[in-house]
Amino acid sequence: MSLILGVDIGGTKIAAGVVDDDGEILDRRVCPTPSRKGGSAVIAAVLAVTLSLREANPIHAIGVGSAGVIDPSNGSVLSATDSIADWAGTPLRGLLHEAAGLPVAVCNDVHAHALGEAVHGAGRGHRSMIMMAVGTGLGGAHVVDGAMFTGVHGAAGHFGHIPVDGAEGVVCPCGRTGHLESICSGPALFALYRSLGGDPAVPGAPEILARVEDDPVAADAVARSATALGRVAGGLVNALDADAVVLSGGLGLAADPWWSSMEAALRATTIPLLSEVPALRAELGNDAAIVGAAHHARSVMEGPR
């Protein structure tokens, strides 16, 4: 049995775990991300967690899932939002390899999340899986035979930036308008509800989801948002011939009527040949990115099969 350290670097916390061959986390650490202090401080925090776990476990390699677009050729951060200050340009793989003296593989955090679900979670047993992570933002990934498709620039899976009906003129966090994420994320659902004349006392997306039965504006906003996501998911199934769609995140895992509206739109969009492709709820929760990052490192160490 070989043990791989999986590390999930997010804007709020750094979570790491020692993962065995079966995807089980045997030991773990969590610490806050010093996101306002910049890349050097974040690397130092990652190393502190890494060395702590390495002292207690015979780790063979390190897999990292990080916020930002990751260069698949060298494991550096190509671009990033301001959730971590001065993160773009950080040579993540090189710095960690030099400091820890172990093989290091780096991928995007949503890609890592998808790998975890594809290999050890809801997507296991499916050759081609689309992941859509719907929470504060909307990320995604496409995993085929246990390997992620990163694209030329490492940016594959930005499904939240697909144009959709109903988002015309609505500004997306990327700065463009009309994208799925601008009406289908937690903050976007809240903004949509307000724009439709919703109760100004309602504080956020969870409360909107809870009011659907008694609040017609909430029902309308949820139906619009979920339908947009389902149509995009169905279109991706058609384009990629995937055999499963896995949803995660606070909004992606929402119960009915959000889920039923999303799935109805997916079914109405897929071509008949693909009409039975399942939509599945993610299973691994916050552990998915740790498990997926470790799987990525294990796959890099083993090489092409």
pLDDT in tens, 87-134: 999 999 999 999 999 999 999 999 999 999 999 999 999 999 999 999
The residue among 116, 168, 163 whose CA lies nearest residue 143 is 116
User: What's the pLDDT score for residue 82?
Assistant: 84
Listed as ranges, residues in the chain with pLDDT below 50 are: none
What is the set of domains in the chain, with CATH numbers? 4-114+285-302 (3.30.420.40), 126-281 (3.30.420.40)
User: What's the pLDDT score for residue 83?
Assistant: 87
User: What's the pLDDT score for residue 304?
Assistant: 59
* Pairwise CA distance, residues 170 & 267, whole Å: 26
Using DSSP bridges, classify how beta strands 59-66 and 3-9 pair: parallel, antiparallel or unpaired.
Answer: parallel
Neighbours of 99 (CB within 10 A): 15
Helix-, strand-, coil-residue percentages of the chain, each rounded to 5: 40, 20, 35
pLDDT in tens, 157-175: 999 999 999 999 999 988 9
The residue among 183, 153, 167 whose CA lies nearest residue 73 is 153
Q: Quick one: tokens of 159?
A: 């499904």
